[in-house]
Amino acid sequence: MGIVKDKKRWPLWSALWFATIWTTWLSRNGFIFNTSKHTPNHIFESAVVKSWLWIKS
């Protein structure tokens, strides 16, 4: 499990990790294909929102 020792919190950290990767990927594609630019703060906030939505669903 790596750095997360508590099995109850593993899904939360996992969702945050995957949401961060997914948001970074979408931002990268937006920059390359649509010339849109996002700040690191925007990417982080989007990842937090995505992970929260994934956990709630």
Max CA separation in the chain (angstroms): 41
Q: If phi over 0 gives left and psi between -120 and 50 gives alpha, with beta otherwise, what is residue 54?
A: alpha
The better pLDDT of the pair 1, 23 is held by 23
pLDDT over 60 (residue 4)? no
pLDDT over 80 (residue 39)? yes
CB-based contacts of 44: which residues, under 8 Å, 6+ apart? 20
Q: What is the pLDDT of residue 13?
A: 81
- In this structure, is residue 19 part of a structural domain? yes
- Residue ranges making up the domain that contains 23: 10-56
Residue-wise pLDDT tens digits, 6-37: 677 677 788 888 999 999 999 999 999 998 88
Instruction: Give the number of domains in the chain.
Output: 1
Residue 9: burial class (beta carbons within 10 Å; 0-12, 13-18, 19+): exposed
pTM over 0.85: no
User: What type of residue sits at position 39?
Assistant: T
- In this structure, is residue 22 part of a structural domain? yes
